[in-house]
Structure 1
Amino acid sequence: MTVRLAGDKSYPAKVIGRDPDTDLAVIKIEPPATGLTVIQLGDSDKLVVGQKVLAIGNPFGLDKTLTTGIISGLQRPIRARNNRPIDAAIQTDASINSGNSGGPLLDKFGKMIGINSQILSPSGGSVGVGFAVPVNTAKRVVPQLIQFGEVKRPRIGANLLSVEQLVEQGVKLPVEEDFSSAMSKPAAQRKKPDCADFLKIATEK
């Protein structure tokens, strides 16, 4: 992998971490480049619909392309390439095309508020519906990518079954609308529910 910076300087680089669930990755330049200006990070939790934004990218090989627009929506649910949901994406009408993915979405002060990710388009070209991963998501993800090479997410190891499935397995339950299992062992160690593990819970009509 080669990274080309402003001034057409090129450096070898490698991927040190990636997170398909958020469509983010971290690359490392080797040897480290000097004299670089680090982009300032904004706060994507403070964005409002209608504020002006700028997108920088390399659409169709056109280097350092800048487009402008506004924030069209917030908290948009989109899906990563692995079909995992990305919550709270930023929607913008700034022109985003193939080659913009991974580029910064900036506010009017030049602070990065998102990372351009994808577009919604029947033709494959920009129709004014683009999405960016919020920079606050990157703030949580990137440190783990640098340290571990991946994002360590908690897993409870539980197998979920419907009441109908439990009845089919011969588990006798009181006739109520909802049930909650109280496992006496860690969920990952339990393979099949036991009748004694179920507690009746109150329901709201």
Structure 2
Amino acid sequence: MKKKSILLVLVLALSSILAACGGYKFEPTLNLEVQDFTVTNQKNEQVRLDDLKGKPWLAMFIFTNCTTICPPMTFNMTEVQQALQDEGLEDYQIVAFSVDPEVDKPEVLTNYLNTYNVVDDSKWQLLTGYQQKFIEQFARKSFNSLVKNDPNSDQVIHMSNYYLVNADGTVVKDYDGATNVPVETIVGDMKALIKESK
């Protein structure tokens, strides 16, 4: 009996060592194809879905006049980017779709980003240059995400998730972007997708 117990302990120890050696395993939880788009970024440059393909990216929905979740979401994304940089990860982008495109012109988005401590703004695409109706439908079809004008204020109702998009333009995972941001998980997932895309 004692030999069996020792053998069991050894087998369990060996399997945990092998699991550790195997490294991080990425597990997708979503499979949503991002719809094609041609929009404008904060530098007044045209951006298409094809321009983002080839590298994984993190997406979010924000707007500059937001008085609730957008400031913490944007700040948290700067923290995620710092963690990505600390890991030496380079082949990714951060994409923020404005849900208030009438107000969020390119220069407004540039000024907004400048208010945050961003380690590398060349990786950020803050997107606008479309109709409100477009972003509401695009968010629903591509990210299964709610975007809706609040009829009683100048605010826009939207979700506070971050979305991980693979190099092929498929949404594969989402995370809380406002409060309990799983930074380590995002970094691990991004590292796995970057490796996968090479």
Identify the structure with the greater helix proportion: 2
Same fold (TM over 0.5): no
Structure possessing the higher relative contact order (Cα contacts under 8 Å, 6 or more residues apart): 2
Identify the structure with the greater strand proportion: 1
- Normalising by structure 2, we get a TM-score of 0.23
- Normalising by structure 1, we get a TM-score of 0.22
